[in-house]
Structure 1
Amino acid sequence: MTQALPPKPPARPDRVPLWRYVKMFRQDILSAQPARLYRAWMAEFRTPFFRSFLVNQPELVKVLLKERPEDFPKSDRIAEGLKPLLGNSVFLTNGEAWKRQRRIIDPAFEGGRLKDTYPAMRAAAESAVERLKERQGLVEIEEETSHAAADVIFRTLFSIPIEHQVAGQVFSRFRDYQRSQPLLNLAAFVPLPRWMPRFFRRGTRRNAEVIRALIEQLTRERMDAIKAGTAPDDLATKIMTTRDPETGSTFDTAEMVDQVAIFFLAGHETSASALAWALYLMALYPDWQEKVAAEAEALADETFAAVSKLRVSRDVFRETLRLYPPVPMMVREAACPEQFRDRDVPKGAQMVLSPWHLHRHERLWENPDGFDPSRWQTENGKQCQRDAYIPFSAGARVCTGAGFAMVEGPLILSMILRAFRVAPAAAQAPVPVAHLTVRSKNGIWLQLSRR
């Protein structure tokens, strides 16, 4: 089986002046990363104002995410770029506030709830296939996967399709927001002095305000329906009626708006990114594409049980998340002085955990830049999945919707490839960049044809 290499971030010199690094970082955090970071266990970035550490060694990643997460809370600097949209959502909070939010949110995504949301998820996938039938030929696939993923979120969260007036407005505004706002601003990865002003790109704050106002409208309407006893049994109703087992409190309207904002960002933006890259990889590897399409015949069974038969699709999606993790970097902050690998880590230092580097680390993975879904059945793949694979983070702060995403992604991928063949467009190959998630600089263009 041919194993070509998917696009890699442009190689950079191992050492660059600070001014040049800052300039590259502001343009795109992925292409700014030097090649040595794909070999390093730990790297330090130091200026007179701050110290940051990139951590790749699996044992240290485990310390930060699993063994001592409270000693390494989420950096407040992340909120500087995302707070206008996400407020005090579970993605940004720490400590007791975060624990309370997870106690209320987690039950909505446990066990049987996945089975309950499956009909809505499948309906969104079927709608995506129908839309694509009208868009055959040259298609910018990121636009289509964004549409499909947003449809999944609205159907599972609020029981409304993307065609709903408010849902459509949120989706439209979010597309503008996504392109204007990087996932990590410069202050998160390269912490600037706190006295230095932060600037948002034009339209970012306004789009965030409009999105939140629309979400608040949906939230208030749902609260009224809950009081009237007419609310559907979907994720929004489940979350809004769940009481904190310790305090007995529920989310008020403002809190629910914050949570819905992160559900939309995490559940729509990350899935859209992963699906687009998965379809691009299928275009590059038609042998794997045909395996997924053949397996997808199991979806003639419309019940949730069919999902368990999508093994190849699941491995393809897992491999896509390895090569193109939607959230390429996560930032924690040292709450107390530490010493890692004989280096002093001062209190307040920024600890950067990077799926982008860890998933392609040359000292951990066999064929780290190659696309090979079969790796997950090998000893190296199984070991790395335990120690060096964190597309949904890990430990206490693992993404609540990880299980949801691992049903949604393979399902939509399978349904699209059951109906269509995809081939690379003749234009230039997509270049990964970081907006809110890992996207392509100029979109991902594919040729679609009916099977």
Structure 2
Amino acid sequence: MIPPKPVSGDGRGTVLGLARAFRRDLLSALPSRLYRAWMAEFRSPVIHSFICNDPALVELVLKTRPADFPKSRRLQAGLAPLLGNSVFVANGEDWARARRIIDPAFEGGRLRHAFPAMWDAGMAAVARMEAQAGREIDLEPETSHATADVIFRTLFSLPIEHRTATQVFDAFRAHQDAQPLVNLGAILPLPAWLRPHSRRTRATAARIRGLIETLVADRRAAIEMGTAPDDLATKIMTTADPETGHRFTHREMVDQVATFFLAGHETSASALAWAVWLLAAFPDWQERVAAEAREALDPAAPDFTAAGRLKLSRAVFREAMRLYPPVPMYVREAARAERFRDRRVPKGAQIVLSPWHLHRHERLWEAPDDFDPGRWETENGRDCARRAYIPFSAGQRVCPGAGFAMLEGPLLLSLACRALRFERGAVDPVPAARLTVRGRDGIRLRIARRE
């Protein structure tokens, strides 16, 4: 079978009509020709954009000259209610300073340090799903719960059952439903104070930030008293910028924590849900992953080195992010006039890099719509992995938590397959882009216990 993807439109219509289509689902609103095109230009009275699938242009924008293509100011406006001026949307010195403070938290032995929290969260997720054996369920709330548990345990040393953690998790689920990937704030060239956001989007963002402010304030007090645990929040809050000597202010730390939840929770939940569903749809691969997990993992003896033996699970997780990249598009802005593929690109134009289309590009990948975790061992797969695979972005703005995600995803996938068997539900999911790529009506499957 071919894994599901949305039916594409023709990319034509009025500006208002396209804006409405983008709000419903960006993936189906864009034309099918993008799966073959190296570049496409879209021009309207309010926005001028270029979607770039040419690997040479992707290399130019992300790696060769990233300073000439900063994050789009319209994207910043669209995400401002939740993320403020966090590292995800900031540019220039604001971004550089934030990375100088954040990056050390993910270096050295931090992955080994985070492994027990991932393991505990994974085992808790297996127990929750095992209790639903014999039923058809929506998998997305389960993977969202699991990855939120990982984030709370590694960031604040709190399990998801902690009252504040549960409240933040519930608020994020509400915000995911309220916030489209593309909103009018990201399309219309209006001043910041006029950016339109729905009342629900503003309310859920304010709720999340209020809860995070409490967590940050409590941690700051613990740091001052010398009782703070050695986790990511403590590491980041006590790290000074090596160039200025300054640490994050309270508001800045709230911005960063909101980004960690979005980037480390929502994206991981999306990738994990699609990976599990793909294994349900391809039971031969599921059995191979389960056999690998039984050999590599001992539930009674968590072992960090065992994660390195989950090669099949890692290949499946990579393939899931190829077919269903959690963040389907990155938006940059041309800081000056450019020329792409003999076409004039004016200053201020929106430069869209689309993992969704790049990862399925018919002129790059062999059988681009097929699920084939074995492709990573082929010549074509290795070549495309270098030139046309960017689930974590690339270059200086690559996600600092990429290594974290590639430990967490395969581990949770393996723990689940070791204990449980998954089967497709009555209706296959249809991908749709909200904040991340999710099922339009959820991702449904049936769960059974393994012997």
Q: TM-score, normalised by structure 1?
A: 0.96
Counterpart for residue 156 of structure 1: 154
Contact 1:49/1:193 (CA < 8 Å) preserved in 2? yes
Counterpart for residue 353 of structure 1: 353
1:52 aligns with 2:45: no
Task: Report the more deviating stretch, 130-139 or 228-237.
Answer: 130-139
Counterpart for residue 204 of structure 1: 201
Question: Partners in 1 of 2:342 and 2:169 — Cα distance?
Answer: 48
1:386 aligns with 2:383: no
Counterpart for residue 374 of structure 1: 374
Deviations 1:110-150 (A, max 9, x none): 13110011011111001111111212221110010000000
Counterpart for residue 189 of structure 2: 193
Alignment of 1:128-277 (within 5 A): 128-136=125-133, 137-188=135-186, 191-194=187-190, 198-277=195-274
Question: Partners in 1 of 2:245 and 2:196 — Cα distance?
Answer: 40
Counterpart for residue 430 of structure 2: 431
Counterpart for residue 75 of structure 1: 72
Alignment of 1:266-415 (within 5 A): 266-297=263-294, 298-300=296-298, 301-415=301-415
Task: Report the more deviating stretch, 296-305 or 433-442.
Answer: 296-305
Counterpart for residue 118 of structure 2: 121
Task: Report the more deviating stretch, 160-169 or 292-301.
Answer: 292-301
Shift of 1:193: 3.5
Question: Partners in 2 of 1:35 and 1:206 — Cα distance?
Answer: 36
Question: Partners in 2 of 1:175 and 1:18 — Cα distance?
Answer: 30
Shift of 1:15: 4.5
How many residue pairs align between the two structures? 445
Contact 1:180/1:202 (CA < 8 Å) preserved in 2? no
Question: Partners in 2 of 1:125 and 1:6 — Cα distance?
Answer: 26
Amino acid at match of 1:343: R
Contact 2:82/2:258 (CA < 8 Å) preserved in 1? yes
Amino acid at match of 2:68: D
Q: 1:201 to 1:187 in 2, by over 3 A?
A: closer
Counterpart for residue 441 of structure 2: 442
Question: Partners in 2 of 1:361 and 1:229 — Cα distance?
Answer: 53
Q: Describe the SS at the equivalent of 2:339.
A: strand
Identity %: 63
Counterpart for residue 60 of structure 2: 63
Shift of 1:104: 0.3
Q: Describe the SS at the equivalent of 1:194.
A: coil
Question: Partners in 2 of 1:23 and 1:218 — Cα distance?
Answer: 37
Question: Partners in 2 of 1:187 and 1:203 — Cα distance?
Answer: 14
Deviations 1:391-441 (A, max 9, x none): 000000000100000000000000011010000012x21111111100111
Question: Partners in 2 of 1:362 and 1:43 — Cα distance?
Answer: 15
Question: Partners in 1 of 2:197 and 2:408 — Cα distance?
Answer: 32
Deviations 1:157-210 (A, max 9, x none): 00000000000000111110111101232453xx33326954323421111111
1:31 aligns with 2:25: no
1:100 to 88, 97, 100: 97
Q: 1:258 to 1:195 in 2, by over 3 A?
A: closer
Q: Describe the SS at the equivalent of 2:172.
A: helix
RMSD: 1.3
Amino acid at match of 2:397: R
Q: TM-score, normalised by structure 2?
A: 0.96
Shift of 1:248: 1.1
Show structure 1 runs of 5+ residues with no match: none
Question: Partners in 2 of 1:267 and 1:330 — Cα distance?
Answer: 17
Amino acid at match of 1:59: A
1:10 aligns with 2:7: yes
Contact 2:151/2:264 (CA < 8 Å) preserved in 1? yes
Question: Partners in 2 of 1:5 and 1:105 — Cα distance?
Answer: 40
Contact 2:23/2:182 (CA < 8 Å) preserved in 1? no
Amino acid at match of 1:38: Y
Shift of 1:18: 4.2
Q: 1:32 to 1:251 in 2, by over 3 A?
A: same
Q: Describe the SS at the equivalent of 2:203.
A: helix
